[in-house]
Structure 1
Amino acid sequence: MARFKPPITRRETAKGHHYVDGNGDRIPGVTTILSDGLPKTALINWAANATADYAVDNWDMLSDLPVAERLKKLQGGRYGVTDKAKKRGTEVHGYAERLVHGEKVANVPELLRGHVEAYARFLDQFDVQPLVVEASGVNYSVGYAGTLDLIADLTIPKLGVTRVLADVKTNEKGIYGETALQLAAYRHFEKLLVDGNEIDMHEVERCAAIHVTSDSAELIPLTVDEQQWRDFRYAREIRRFANESRDLVGAPVEPVKETTIASIEWREAEAS
């Protein structure tokens, strides 16, 4: 039985975007499910190191601030790193979408020119023929939605023309394993939203990440089979538990009888 009702709508907000169904009920997003449902042990060390780096880099400025304000700056210091990375990723995705449609791009910021040139070479090297670009999708039965980057026919050595579901990544450290779960979720979309209409999800032969840096754009194959689809659903359930766990704890139980106030008298032991 479907958990949500069609049609899906992607709503843009000042803080990002989210998805709602035909009843206006919010549908969990794929990246949100993975963010909340998978352990992020590496982020603990990263957050500590990023905060320490911020403190060292801004030592003189922090020393001049009152203690409360200094603490606030330190607590938010690491977000400057992620904000820059997110902004770069969003901008690269925007150029990638235009390039794959065959559009010409101009006035590319110097910081992103390497990424754009690398992606343009990638499209030519693999003779990328797009089928779906930046489309929202939904699985009404399991209950999630998201936006995939690309379904396209690529010419791959030894495989020939192959239909690939791909996600563009700009992470400097490479591709993380959880990307396989992200693509497993996309691969199991029931519907895609294309030009305002819901269509059936396309069958794909392979899944991959396209790792775009200032120097290169590489096609990174990913294993996306039944196990990864199962693992994504486990992550969804863990997120559900985390969100609902407070409801499992009840209020304190009131005793049946009223009693007098108990008191304890402490006495020092007499020295022998």
Structure 2
Amino acid sequence: MTETKRRNHGRGHSYLLDGEKVPGVTTLIKEGFPRTGLVKWAAETVAARAVDGWDELAELPVSERLRTLEKAHTEVRDSAGVRGTRVHALADRLVRGEEVDVPEELAGHVEACVKFLDEWDVDALMVERPVFSRRHRYGGSPDLVATLRDGKRWLLDWKTNARGPYGDMAFQLAAYRYADLFLDEDGHEQPMPEIDEVGVVWLRADGYDLYPFEAGRDVHRQFLYICQVAQAAAACRDYKGDALLPPSEAAA
């Protein structure tokens, strides 16, 4: 029997569908819909590091100053990513009703999560279960599918970044919403449930916000266009041939 599963390795993961590796939703979006705003953010982060650490940098050899500034934005990004991963893990356990030991530096985020769960009377159906589209050959892992106080079934993702969710989250949510199946806790395939609403819960040290998103069939179709761009971006690396020899040399 061919396998369909999510494989975890280190801080990353990959997806197998019927024994074949398929791309993940976030990877497809990253490669097919690059965020131009990240270029501006990276430049601003490096500039801030240079200004705020002017005296410290002045004491370093020139080459070390360069290396310090070159990695400034990746250090900030990676630090935020680690925090986000830790908050996600704690949020998942809270949704399951488990007790958690809360690091002091994450206490505000955890309190915000608990407040959301209480205020919206969250009744979880799926907690970070892998989902797959057989028709379109992709996989992904939504953070939460749950019935909320409004009586509707929501597909939700946690976000912990500094500026909150961006509009392009709609593509990710639509991809999850219109997957064909999910794997239950025993690894068995189940049909993807009907979803009434999708949204993002922005968890911060000072509270939370629930943002609804438009992620209907039209947005899912746009996601599929993004998939095509991602596939083209990967394939074009093979389109370039080797340089040709001049005719006189080729004939020799």
TM-score (norm 2): 0.91
1:7 touches 1:198 (CA, 8 Å); kept in 2?
no
Counterpart for residue 72 of structure 1? 67
Secondary structure of the residue aligned to 2:156 is strand
Counterpart for residue 14 of structure 2? 18
2:160 touches 2:203 (CA, 8 Å); kept in 1?
yes
Structure 1 residue 228 corresponds to structure 2 residue 219: yes
Count of residue pairs brought into register by the alignment: 249
The AA in structure 1 aligned to 2:9 is T
Counterpart for residue 118 of structure 2? 124
Higher-Rg member (1/2): 1
State the percentage of identical aligned residues.
Answer: 41
Residues 119 and 15 (structure 1), Cα distance of their counterparts in 2 relative to 1, 3 Å cut? closer
Q: CA deviation at 1:256?
A: 4.7
Counterpart for residue 162 of structure 2? 172
Counterpart for residue 242 of structure 1? 233
* Equivalent residue runs for 1:146-185 within 5 Å: 146-156=140-150, 161-185=151-175
Measured in 1, the distance between the counterparts of 2:63 and 2:238 equals: 34
Secondary structure of the residue aligned to 1:224 is coil
TM-score (norm 1): 0.85
The AA in structure 2 aligned to 1:80 is E
Q: CA deviation at 1:60?
A: 3.4
Counterpart for residue 84 of structure 1? 79
1:130 touches 1:151 (CA, 8 Å); kept in 2?
yes
Q: Which structure carries more helix by proportion?
A: 2
Counterpart for residue 36 of structure 2? 41
Q: CA deviation at 1:138?
A: 1.1
Q: 1:112 aligns with which of 101, 106, 112?
A: 106
Secondary structure of the residue aligned to 1:237 is helix
Measured in 2, the distance between the counterparts of 1:11 and 1:53 equals: 38
Q: CA RMSD in A?
A: 2.0
The AA in structure 2 aligned to 1:127 is D
Residues 245 and 234 (structure 1), Cα distance of their counterparts in 2 relative to 1, 3 Å cut? same
The unaligned stretches of length 5 or more in structure 2 are none
Q: 1:208 aligns with which of 199, 216, 219?
A: 199
